[in-house]
Amino acid sequence: MIRTEFPEALYLLILIPFFFIIHYIYIKKKKARLNNLVDKELIKTIAPEISYGKLWTKFTLLNLAYAFIVIAISNPQIGTAIEKSERNGTDLMVCLDISNSMLAEDIKPNRISRAKQSLNNLINQLNNDRIGIIIFAGSAYVQLPITNDYSAAKTFIDVIDPSMISNQGTAIGEALEIANESFGEKNKNKSKSIILISDGEDNEEEAVSIAKKIAKDGVVINTIGLGLPEGALIPIAKKGIGKIDYKKDENGSYVMTKLNETILKDIASVGNGVYIRANNASIGLDNILARINKMDKNEYQAIAYKDYENRFYIFAFIALVFLCIEFLVFEKKNKYINRKFFFGKE
């Protein structure tokens, strides 16, 4: 297993083509200036040692050294050991609504931020369970495939934002279908659960029927309603520091987003789970986790790479070799060194 500790450093490699373009322009202008001053045939007589080929050779060597230095900075690492272990736990997929209505602030600080905080707390309480995340608005996709890597799960949760899906809506049915497919094995003896976190503003009438179909595969669907029935305004970004505006409809009236408990209750009912309405004190994940912990545990094999070893020094050494070669290559022709060791006859 090979990885880089600082992969963002590799973006510096993008500069290499620009270096070559700049060097090409420099050489071209240098030739032009010299040709304007002295006749081409006369140049060969008065300055026979000029070698543009060697200038390009030295420049190429410097760029190779630069490339390997960048790779060294990214610190390539090799996983030297593989740890396999048998674990028992449940499989859990979280379907998180990230539509713009989840920015409403009737649940503090807002609906989606509170959901993310609670999911991080949920992960802290997991024990050998596997978790995956589906995010949805007008469409749905897998944000995190099912895994027992809790650190990765927290990282994925932290970056979730409504801007990740441009088309608005609340595609609950599609999210549930993708979550069910993400479990992989269609084994009814496996303990599989889905937690749907949404404000329930769904325009799909088939969400309940999809939940009912999924429940036949032995999947338990629990739902959490975020928001208040009386509703709240939807904050939107407005140009200017510290300025907040609220979403309006085509008539210029403010849009009020209200918790739709009916559909969430129906999905939980056909999914053999429970519905919990979140509030500012608790989102309800603790109660659902307690139910999940009572389910039979699955046995699965966990694989992890251990003892990553740094390999930056290999690339740093290669860069040093290129720099040494570049130092030994003279810009001008030299019949004793460059001809013999590097370029042969000229």
- What's residue 344's pLDDT? 47
Tokens of 132: 């995956």
Range 84-302 classified under CATH 3.40.50.410: yes
What is the rounded average pLDDT of the residues 251-270? 90
- The yes-or-no verdict on residue 334 having pLDDT over 60 is no
- What's residue 200's pLDDT? 83
Q: What is the mean pLDDT of the chain?
A: 82
- What's residue 333's pLDDT? 57
Virtual torsion, Cα 114, 115, 120, 126, nearest 10 deg: 140
Least confident range of 148-157, 221-230, 309-318, 335-344: 335-344
Residue ranges of domains in the chain = 2-75+311-343, 84-302
Tokens of 251: 């008539």
Confidence of residue 169 (pLDDT cuts 50, 70, 90): confident
Closest by CA to 171, choosing from 195, 207, 134, 210, is 207
Q: Report H helices in 6-85.
A: 15-37, 40-46, 52-74
How does pLDDT run across 49-71, given as a tens digit for each residue?
556 678 888 899 999 999 999 99
Least confident range of 104-108, 222-226, 327-331: 327-331
Confidence of residue 133 (pLDDT cuts 50, 70, 90): very high
Cα–Cα dist 277/316, whole Å? 57
- C-beta neighbour count of 73 within 10 angstroms: 17
How does pLDDT run across 78-116, given as a tens digit for each residue?
866 555 555 567 899 999 999 999 999 988 889 999 999
Beta bridge partners of 332: 50
